[in-house]
Homo-oligomer: A and B are copies of this chain.
Amino acid sequence: MAKDKRTAFFISDGTGLTVEAIGHSLLAQFQDQHLEQVTLPYIDSASKVQQALQRIEKAASESGLQPIIITSIVSDQIRQQLHQSPALMLDIFENYLTPLASLFNRDPAQSVNISRGIADSHRYNDRIQAVHFAMDNDDGRRTSGFEQADVVLLGVSRSGKTPTCLYLALQFGLRAANYPITEEDMDSTNLPRILLPYRRKLFGLTIDPTRLVQIRQERRANSRYASKEQCDFEVRQVEQMLRRAQVPFLDATQLSVEELATRLMSQAGIERRID
């Protein structure tokens, strides 16, 4: 814990991923604040809350600044214990379970880790199969799997196809293949013939050539592959190819993998396979 730096704690009885996401998006609205951000997952017993409380008090006394807690603990008892801390408490469950309970006219289950993971083996299988599908159909090593694909991503090397495909698989259970447009494909601005049978599944990624140079430089510094001319040429050719064949596409330059995946789905009208 740094001096004069306020700490925000994201505290969960599970993975912590949800409160962390909430915390990031709330705190992003106050960018001028220099905050230490600490996730404490699996806080699911009295002794673990006790340890967390000590850590929070330490942060408060060392910095002289009131810490922030964003929490989604399900158990009333553990939550009450956490509320003893001197921090500003943003308690997701406390604020939202009450209105839901009165709408449904029943008490919340108060059980951690209900749903998901546990025995939800259908969801697990779909995900795992989608991940292996993405791995097996990456970088155009083969196109035989394209028949089973929900989407086939096209773009120049390092335009973000692989992470997007993997994210689509992990988060949404989608079967996403990808095909890199290589120099051989760029002799013309026609779609590579091998892709024609999958025309309706195609989705393009493009990228600002200057950004592409940066990314490729990190991979192969000072190579022709990473040169400005080459990146300019490839991006221009691929954009023409996509426009000409009327393949929908996104510019990946300013987008995170999450944004690419979700925008692609809404633009192409692709529905998730898992919740």
Contacts and interface: CB of A to CB of B under 8 A. Distances in A.
A186 interface: no
A258 B21 CA distance: 14
Contacts of A50: none
A129 B160 CA distance: 11
A119 B100 CA distance: 38
Contacts of A259: 14-15, 113, 117
A29 B108 contact: yes
Contact of A258 (B17, B103, B131, B135): B17
A230 interface: no
Given A99-B88, A263-B42, A211 B121 contact: yes
A184 interface: no
Copies of this protein in the assembly total 2
Contacts of A121: 211, 214
Interface in A105-122: 106, 108-111, 113-121
Contacts of A66: 103
Contacts of A254: 117-119
A124 B163 CA distance: 10
A189 interface: no
Interface SS majority for chain A: helix
A14 B29 CA distance: 14
A127 B100 CA distance: 37
Nearest to A113: B259
A76 to B, nearest CB: 12
Contacts of A256: 116-117, 120, 124
A54 interface: no
Nearest to A171: B17
B257 A127 contact: yes
Contacts of A148: none
A245 interface: no
24 contacts: A15-B259, A15-B262, A17-B171, A21-B21, A22-B22, A24-B275, A28-B116, A29-B110, A30-B104, A41-B266, A42-B262, A42-B263, A68-B100, A95-B95, A113-B259, A116-B258, A124-B256, A125-B218, A127-B163, A128-B162, A128-B215, A129-B218, A131-B162, A135-B135
Given A30-B100, A92-B92, 13 more contacts: A15-B258, A18-B22, A18-B25, A26-B96, A29-B111, A30-B104, A31-B109, A41-B262, A116-B256, A119-B254, A124-B256, A128-B162, A135-B138
